[in-house]
Chain A
Amino acid sequence: NAGVTQTPKFRILKIGQSMTLQCTQDMNHNYMYWYRQDPGMGLKLIYYSVGAGITDKGEVPNGYNVSRSTTEDFPLRLELAAPSQTSVYFCASCRDRANQPQHFGDGTRLSIL
């Protein structure tokens, strides 16, 4: 019963490097989300998807890209890492109905030095 799986759990990047945060879910959820959580703060939505082939920007999309080629996978791409992107990143998914809760992955702690 894996749920939402995020990899890696920790990563240190140098300024200007690129990387992809992986997220996969095995619950056949159409809705998937990427959030970032800065220290002591709440969650801010980066991007979300309501189904394969469909993505939309959230509150803080700048510096990130996403794709949704399958129902299961929703990778988040950082093209040119900046210190402001140091954060904990959460992926989440949920069923199609609004009263259903989001299921979260365990997060990826990313540091940009």
Chain B
Amino acid sequence: AQTVTQSQPEMSVQEAETVTLSCTYDTSESDYYLFWYKQPPSRQMILVIRQEAYKQQNATENRFSVNFQKAAKSFSLKISDSQLGDAAMYFCAYRSPEDRPLVFGKGTRLSVIA
């Protein structure tokens, strides 16, 4: 079974600075999909970014980008120019190509300091 590990329970960043959240996963599959979700205090689960394992190019969405290292099974999220609204729980998730449910990590709580 696949597992997702987020080794940083909490992180903090100064406003306008850059922060990287770590995620590693364990799988024997060669093709799969990875996601980062954001959960602000409102509890909504919001998709931040996704990456398809067969694509070598790292995904980017505005200030959010990933560093996908397939051989190392690593999928870190970089947030540039951090804003107060970025403060939230961030969850890394893995999905098998066989359409099984998402497997989530335990999350990283990000604080943004003004």
Contacts and interface: CB of A to CB of B under 8 A. Distances in A.
A45 B52 CA distance: 22
B95 A98 contact: yes
Interface residues of A, number: 21
Q: Main SS of the interface on chain B?
A: loop
Contacts, number: 46
Q: Which of A31, A33, A96, A99 has the most B CB atoms < 10 Å from its CB? A: A99
Interface in B70-114: 91, 95-99, 101-102, 104-107
Given A90-B45, A98-B96, A104-B45, A33 B107 contact: no
A111 B43 CA distance: 16
19 contacts: A33-B102, A41-B107, A42-B105, A42-B107, A48-B101, A50-B99, A92-B45, A97-B99, A98-B32, A98-B97, A99-B33, A101-B47, A101-B50, A102-B47, A104-B44, A104-B45, A106-B42, A106-B44, A107-B44
Interface of A: 31, 33, 41-43, 45, 48, 50, 58, 88, 90, 92, 96-99, 101-102, 104, 106-107
